[in-house]
Structures are given as structure tokens and as C-alpha cells.
Structure 1
Amino acid sequence: MAKPALQGRVVAAHGRHYRVAIDHTDQLRQCYPRGKKTGIAVGDRVSVLPEGEQEGAITEILPRRNLFYRSDAQRSKLFAANIDQLLLVLASEPEFSEDLLGRALVAASSADIPAHIVLNKSDLPTTAAARARLAATEALGVPVHTLCALDAAQVHERLEPLLRGRCTLLLGQSGMGKSTLLNALVPDAQAATQAHSIALGTGRHTTTHTRLYALPGGGDLIDSPGFQAFGLQHLGPQDIEHGFPEFAPAVAQCRFYNCTHQHEPGCGVLAAVTRGEISAQRHALYLRILAENEAARRY
């Protein structure tokens, strides 16, 4: 007699291997997608057909509140599903990319996911200059939390109130100190990562591994691999515009209802850029993303 399907939450992912925490139990099952099913992310709620005592087949992804991911011509990278907020980790050294930061914020805004920035390595003398580079982003309403991840007490004081009771995706470029921050927030993160890597058959923790951790003070933290690119080819023109919320007041002033805010006469957005009300750097990013996605559709 076939066992009934179970429901649970994906708490770790590596390739086509997933760990699923089964609802209302302490079971963690090693699962794989049934057939060619793809597109499963950590944080997804799924249906699982049990196989043996500790394994299972994922047969369905249950409805999501949101999905945060990047995409380019080759592939999509799913970071997490059903998250409450994004925590982007930056540092003054190595110098962070404002382009990558802007793209991550566009992805978050287009999915209506609130974002916060952690400026790490506050013990370095270059922090003031990095903080100044973030002034325009902070002016958009994105909070910036400056700290040193090596100071665990400071990390808890500054971030625990923000994280408590929420599911947060931790994201950052390589070298920003994201792992140090994770270890400050979840002291047993390294041990848990090693245990789950063994369970997934992946050996050591690698850059393709995504993992959800329960925070000691309440809430969940999803650790995702560092990134060096952030394509947004899954976004259409309206989604891209939605990713720039500061455009909204000016869009209402556009002469044409289908204005693309690139070159049209009477464009409220272009006028606002000229007046300095919208950042020229942000508008340039908007144009780059539009151009990249249009080029991708042609090929």
C-alpha cells in the first residue's frame, strides 16, 4: 500500500538534491524532484511522496508568496522562495559593485520584497567612503546597517530585532564577509552545514549550496552562495519599471501612456532625471537592463 503524500518545506538545496523538513514532525527527508521537475528553491513548500524511512520524491511545489532569483541567457539561479526580506551584505574592501547592488535591489523591488543593506567591516578606515557611496541608495528608503561581523555582540544588537520572526535571505558578492556574519548570527552554522552537506551527498560546503537556518532568537535565515553576476532577463519592461519605485511619481507625468522612459518627448522620468530628482546612475542602470533584455530576446 502506497504511503500518503506529505507536505514540508525545502531547507537545503544542492543541484537536484533537496532536504525537506516535514510538517509537524522532526523528519528531514532527502528528496529529489519527480521526473524532470525543476525550479525548486529553498523556502518552497512542497508535496513529497515518501520513499523508505528518510527519502522522498517531490511531486508538487505549493503556491508561493514570492520567488527571488536572477537569470541570464544560460540559466536561472533560484535564491529562495517565500521570503519576508532581503539582507544584502556589502563591505568597503573589497570594493562592492554598485551595478550588482542596483540589480539585486531591482529584483527585490520587482517582487515587492523589502531590502536592507549590511555594510560590513566597519573596523576598516575605508568604511566612511563606502558609506558615502550608499547615500543615494539609502535615500531611496533602503536602510543601511553598518557593523563589523567579527563583533558577534554588535551583530546581535544591530540585526536581531530586524530578523526576529521573519524569513530573511542573506545575499552578497564574494568576499564581503557573509559567512562571518552568518556564523555570528547562527553559532552552529558550520556544523549544521557540514551535516547537511554529508546528508545531501555533496561532501564539503560548496558555492552551489543554499541552506535555511533557524535563528536562535526566532525567525529563519537563508544563506545563499556569493555571486559575481546578476542578470534580470526574466523581467519584462513593466517588471523592470516596477523595480525602480522612485520612478512612479514621475511616470504619472509622462505624455504617453506607453512611455519607455528612454527618449520620448514629454517623458516625466527623463525630466525628473534632468532636474536631479531621479538619480542619473539609477536611470542608466534601468536603460542597461532594458537593452540587455531586448538583446537577449533577439537571439
Structure 2
Amino acid sequence: MADRAGLSAGVVVASFGRHCVVETPDGERRICHPRGKKTQAVVGDRVQWQQSHDEGTIEKVEQRRNLFYRQDEIRTKSFAANLDQVLILIAAEPEFSEHQLARALIAAEAERITPIIALNKSDLVEPFERAWGRLLPYQQMGYGVLPLSLRLSGEVDRRHLLGQLEGKTTLVLGPSGAGKSTLINLLVPGALAQTGEISRALNSGKHTTTSTTWYWVDAQRTTALIDSPGFQEFGLHHIEPAQLAGLMRDLRPHLGQCRFYNCTHRHEPGCAVLAAVAHADAPHPITANRYRIYGDLYEELSQPPRY
């Protein structure tokens, strides 16, 4: 529906470089291009766009509730905007990286987006038990952790997953090999074909696996999944070192209890975080491994930029 200025409302449902696909409230989809370099839209953005022939131009990106992104020393990679939650999909095999998991959780906390951890391949009994044990500290921190077997998934698994996703916009995030495509196809039959159609429309078939795409799970268009490219690195250079402890749920309860107000929780005497690491049976414990992740990230974020 267009306003007096000829602008129509829409949501960005796919992004391929400088091109986007915008969906109108009645479900029509149109290829759009940004107006100038500053109008860079990402999947999930609410936009105002103007029709020109059989395509369109994005004139305005509405204010975002949040933006989930990663940033290394050189570039920023935006995944999606206006999210309700992030589903971080990892697998019992190959063994997941806890550093990578921690980075994704920190990025979600920074944007106040609810994260859910899903552990795939519960049919691999021994690897799954080991992986589940590694996730116990995250359950104790209050994160939801779902066991999945997408390879053997039946109606019960599907209903359980849908219960977590219903009525929400969820970004599915995870490293290659975790089962992301299987999960998307389980909940949205024909999703890969849909991606191919969008890609062909944009004449960019080679980018199919490196794009971010929005799928409706239900005919009423109330539950959405956003599929993102697999990643091997997850930079957090948009976060200040002093912010880091407050974005880690197991460290957060101890903040403000240290002897020094500007404690880095690395070596200072009277540090409440270090005391929690040393006393695993105390309230709100911090495991040695989680503290090691904090130290590594603090060191990384404290490095001067290399141009």
C-alpha cells in the first residue's frame, strides 16, 4: 500500500550484496536497490520503498529495535535486524567451539536479543553426552538448551521446535556442518528451492549459500526464520573491553563487588570474579574454561587496531 509520496511499506526478506528483496504486507516480493550508499538495508529491516518499473528503490530504513552483527578489525558483517531471538545451532560432532559459542552469546546479549542454544545429533550417544556436559554451565546461567536429532527428526522434534519459535522472528546461526540447512528444510519445506528462485531473480546464483534469507514458517506469516551463512570467525570488536564482563551471564552477578571500581578481573587483589573462579561450590560459580574465554577475549579487544 503506497502513501501520498508514492512510498510503500515492506520488510527486507533477502539480501545479496547491494540488492535486496522486499516483501509487501500482502506478500508480494520485489527486487529493490538502495538509494545511495547510506541506505544499506539488512534482512529484517522495515523499509519505505518506491516502485520504478518492475523493481524498486529503498528510500528509507525505519528505526531498528536491534541489529545482530559481528565486527573484526577490518569489516562489519550484519546478519539481521529486528529480531526476537537467535537460535545458535551447534552439533555434538564435529566438536563445537566454546569460544565461538561464547562470542555469539555475547553479541546477542549486547543487543538484548534472547539466545537459544540447540545441540544437534543426539543420536550419536557418546559424543552427545560429552557435548551436553560442556553445555551444563550454560544451562546454569539460564540459557535455554535444546537437544535435537535433525537427521532422525520426527513430528515430536518438529512440534517442540515450533513451540520455541512460534510468533517470533528468529535468526538461525551456526558453523558449517551443524545442520542449519536440515533444520530450515524441516520447518520450511522447499526452503532451498525458494532461495534458488530469489537468487535466479537477482541473477546471482553463485551467492545462494552466502546470503541471508527470511522464511515464513506458517501460512499466516506470524513465525519467521532467518537463515544466515555459516561462519568460522565471530569478531567482537564493536564491544569495549570494559563492557565484556557485563555481557557474560556468569561474570555479571559479581560485578560491583570487587575492591577496585575499575577492576579488569584479570589480576587485581580483592576481585570478586577471580574469587568465584577459585570457589566452584560458591553461588554463581565461574568455570576455569569460561574465565579463560573471558581472558582471551579481553586481551583480543584490548589490542590497538592494526590498519
Give the equivalent residue in structure 2 for 1:98.
Answer: 98
Deviation (angstroms), 1:92: 1.3
Q: Distance between the aligned counterparts of 2:102 and 2:266, measured in 1?
A: 18
Structure 1 segment 117-132 matched on structure 2, within 5 A: 117-125=117-125, 126-132=127-133
Structure 1 segment 260-275 matched on structure 2, within 5 A: 260-275=264-279
Give the equivalent residue in structure 1 for 2:251.
Answer: 247
Contact 1:15 1:208 in 2 (8 A): no
Contact 1:39 1:78 in 2 (8 A): no
Give the equivalent residue in structure 1 for 2:15.
Answer: 13
Give the equivalent residue in structure 1 for 2:84.
Answer: 84
- Which of these residues, 186, 189, 197, is aligned with residue 188 of structure 2? 186
Could you say what secondary structure the match of 2:150 adopts?
Answer: coil
Give the equivalent residue in structure 2 for 1:294.
Answer: 302
Could you list the per-position Cα deviations for residues 249-275 of structure 1 after superposition, in whole angstroms to 9, with x for gaps in the alignment? 211211222222222222221221222
Q: Does 266-275 or 64-73 show the bigger shift?
A: 266-275
The one-letter code sitting in structure 1 at the alignment partner of 2:225 is L
Contact 1:70 1:230 in 2 (8 A): yes
Give the % identical residues: 47
Structure 1 segment 93-172 matched on structure 2, within 5 A: 93-125=93-125, 126-150=127-151, 151-172=153-174
Give the equivalent residue in structure 2 for 1:198.
Answer: 200
Q: Distance between the aligned counterparts of 1:9 and 1:85, measured in 2?
A: 17
Contact 1:213 1:222 in 2 (8 A): yes
The one-letter code sitting in structure 2 at the alignment partner of 1:266 is G
Give the equivalent residue in structure 2 for 1:208.
Answer: 210
Number of residue equivalences: 296
Could you say what secondary structure the match of 1:105 adopts?
Answer: helix
Q: What TM-score, normalized to structure 2? A: 0.90
Structure 2: unaligned runs, 5 residues or longer: none
Contact 2:258 2:270 in 1 (8 A): yes
Deviation (angstroms), 1:50: 2.0
Q: Does 13-22 or 125-134 show the bigger shift?
A: 125-134
Q: Distance between the aligned counterparts of 1:142 and 1:233, measured in 2?
A: 24
The one-letter code sitting in structure 2 at the alignment partner of 1:190 is L
The one-letter code sitting in structure 1 at the alignment partner of 2:189 is P
Q: Distance between the aligned counterparts of 1:29 and 1:250, measured in 2?
A: 50
Q: Does 85-94 or 165-174 show the bigger shift?
A: 85-94
The one-letter code sitting in structure 1 at the alignment partner of 2:292 is A
Give the equivalent residue in structure 2 for 1:33.
Answer: 34
The one-letter code sitting in structure 1 at the alignment partner of 2:247 is G
Structure 1: unaligned runs, 5 residues or longer: none
